[in-house]
Amino acid sequence: MKIDASKPLEYSTEENSNKIFGFWVFLGAEIPLFATLFTVYFVMVNRFASGPSGSELFEIGPVLMETFLLLSSSFTIGLAVHAMRHGYKKAMMVFMAITLVMGLAFVGIEIDEFFTYVHEGATLQTSGFLSSLFILLGTHGLHVSFGLLWGIGIMIQLWKRGITPATANKTFIFSLFWHFLDVVWIFIFSFVYLKGLM
């Protein structure tokens, strides 16, 4: 494998830079995916049938907490990549671990929220509005959960194999994914929760 020392490690081979570019294209596909979910949500947002509406359901507390966690974790994954660029494996691992713990807490709060909704009689089956809410939040949450497993996998590889062109590449791509989820969450936070609470 040829390594081009003039580039950051994660871009250093042709295969690596293709992978990063490929992941950008994949994120290109995630945009219509989430755009479809948002569209469905906006179409359905007033179709409560006999169920509750957003303003009756949403609570700002947990949502602010979720937002804080995800935004901070987007920052810490950035720090992890920064540490990686300097070759500080230990710091990198620590920042990744913090990222994943915050992600885990996010998922925990979201699951708790879902349970609360269901407890209040707001289920997937109740109304078009709730079906679309659950599928939008659920898809995002599933992405985060998948990210947790993926991140753990990468950490194990980092721990065992060190910072190599391959692991650096994976970490960088993971960070792109994580930032993307953050962006999607900002849309959810503004157009689902804040708008719903108004």
Partner 1 sequence: MDLDKFKVHGEPLIYGAMISIALATIGILVGLTYFKKWGYLWREWLTTVDHKKIGIMYILAALLMLFRGGVDAMMMRLQTAAPEMKFLDAQHYNEVFTTHGLIMILFMAMPFIIGLMNVIIPLQIGARDVAFPRLNAVSFWLFFMGAMLLNISFVIGGSPDAGWSAYFPLASLEFSPTVGNNYYSLALQISGIGTLITGVNFIVTILKMRAPGMTLMKMPMFTWSVLITNVIIVFAFPVLTIALAMMMFDRLFGSQFFTMANGGMDMLWANLFWVWGHPEVYIVILPAFGIYSEIIATFSKKNLYGYTSMVFSMLIISLLSFLVWAHHFYTMGQGAMVNSFFSITTMAIAVPTGVKIFNWLFTLRKGRITFTTPMLYTLAFIPIFTIGGVTGVMLAMASADYQYHNTMFLVAHFHYVLIPGAVFAVIAGFHYWFPKVFGFRLNERLGKHAFWWIIISFNVTFFPMFFLGLMGMTRRLYTYSKESGFGPLNMLSFVGAVGLAIGFVILVYNIYWSTRYMPRDTTNDPWDGRTLEWATHSPIPLYNFAIVPKVETRDALWSAKQENIPLYTDTKYTKIHMPSNTGKPFILGVVFFFLGFFLVFSMWIPAIVAGIGILVVLAFMSFDKDQGYYIPVEEVIATEKKLMRGETV
Question: Number of residues in contact with partner 1, rule: CB under 8 A?
Answer: 42
Smallest CA-to-CA distance from 134 within 24, 50, 57, 22 is with 57
Binding status of residue 111 toward partner 1 by CB under 8 A = no
Give the C-alpha separation, 109 to 153, whole Å: 23
Question: Mask of contacts with partner 1, 57-96, x by CB under 8 A?
Answer: ----------------------------------------
The shares of helix, strand and coil residues in the chain, as percent rounded to the nearest 5, are 80, 0, 20
| Of 131, 169, 171, 175, the one binding partner 1 by CB under 8 A | 131
Could you tell me the smallest distance in angstroms from the CB atom of residue 28 to partner 1?
A: 6
Give the C-alpha separation, 158 to 191, whole Å: 38
Q: Which residues have C-beta within 8 Å of that of residue 59, sequence separation ≥ 6?
A: none
Contacts to partner 1 by CB under 8 A: 1, 17-19, 21-22, 25-26, 28-30, 32-33, 36-37, 40, 43-44, 47-51, 124-132, 134-135, 139, 149-150, 153-154, 156-157, 170
